Amino acid sequence: MPVQHLQNGFAISFCLLLTWSHLTIGTNNPAEATIISTTDEFSFSCLPLTIQLSDPIKSPGMESSHTHVVTGGTAFQRTMGMQAAPNASATTCEVLIDKSNYWVPALYHMTSDKSFEMMEYESSAVYYLNRACDYAASAQTCKDGSYPLAPPAGLRIVAGDPRIQTYNDTNFAQRAISHMCLMEDGSSNETKHLPRQSCEKLRSQVFFPSCWDGRNLDSTDHKSHMAYPVIGDYNKGICPKSHPVAIFSIFMEFIFNTKPFPDHQNWVYATGDRTGYGMHGDFINGWMDQGSLQGAFKTCTGKGRLSDPRCSITQTQKMPLSPASLEPDEPIPWENLGQNSTIQKLPGHPEHVV
């Protein structure tokens, strides 16, 4: 895809979704954990939209290298122009003016005979946070009361790298990928790698880069137009001079039902990755009203949150705040991806051999 410039499912109950989403960003390490306050974020829930061998960012118009689970706007398909997402007919997310798409690789279970069955993708939660600030030559911290730019219309972001299978804690891009093992008793354990224990649910987590070059909505490698803060951490700080414009930080969670598969050592992502370090996420901006999105931190982060009648992204919403179970606007390519029966190999051309 050429560089673009600024001028231009499985359904579950909403209650279960709220039960397994969280309000903390970071890790279980107190030195690294960051607590979301009532003044720096708004969040909403989403249900699955589709499961496809598709990636309109990295593999436009063709099969992707591996299977993805997708939530959000119903315009999702293999070829998506810069105006496609906001023109979706509907969304599986609570906020009706967000027609964005969010996706991660599917999660599989490898059986004793080396065949594969897909684990159920149950739900997602998406958080928009006020965490990054614009580049300033002498700044060491972000000023209180400042707001970053809303993600510009048409922006595409990729976080994580499906090729890697080792971990470097000094790399912000790797620190931004994590997994939460959710236990039946309500306890949890966060790791950068796939859990090395059985879990009731697995929550795959992605924190997208929050610093933009101010010009490009995409780049040839789909990453160079975005960056993580240079002062601070992957999830909070001051943007680098090369990417001086801070945008809303986006954090997303994808919840998989791992209870039927206690043999955690046989969990594998659609990329063939059994470590979890190669987990990654994609975002296509499909917000229908940039002005409403820009005003959300001022109007949707108080006590009433999205239900506040002044909340700019929901004030014209006539339907209840509830995610919906929908199908994509375009017919889904017929593919045996392992949702209903075992398959002999992972679909596509996975990055790793299992």
Q: Residue 155 domain-assigned?
A: yes
Q: Residue 335 domain-assigned?
A: no
Per-residue pLDDT tens digits for 99-135: 999 999 999 999 999 999 999 999 999 999 999 999 9
109 touches 117 (CB < 8 A): yes
Q: Residue 135 domain-assigned?
A: yes
Position 301 scores a pLDDT of 95
- DSSP β-bridge partners for residue 204: 179, 254
Q: Residue 312 domain-assigned?
A: no
CA 310 to chain centre: 27
Q: Residue 67 domain-assigned?
A: yes
Residue 50: count of CB within 10 angstroms of its CB: 23
Position 20 scores a pLDDT of 52
b/e sequence 303-340, b meaning 16+ C-beta within 10 Å? eebbebeebbbbeeeeeebebbebebeeeeeeeebbbe
pLDDT beneath 50, residues of the chain: 1-19, 23-38
> Taking the model in full, what pTM does it have?
0.90
Residue 233: count of CB within 10 angstroms of its CB: 16
Give dist(CA 323, CA 310) in Å, integer: 21
What letter represents residue 99's amino acid? K
Residue 146: count of CB within 10 angstroms of its CB: 11
Show the DSSP H helices in the chain as ranges.
Answer: 14-20, 172-175, 290-294, 296-299
- For the record, the structure tokens of 341 come out as 């029966």
Domain of residue 55: give its range.
14-307
Q: Residue 257 domain-assigned?
A: yes
Pairing of strands 249-257, 101-105: unpaired
Position 3 scores a pLDDT of 40
DSSP state of 238: E
- In total, how many domains does the chain have? 1
Q: Residue 271 domain-assigned?
A: yes
Q: Residue 301 domain-assigned?
A: yes
Give dist(CA 208, CA 85) in Å, integer: 19
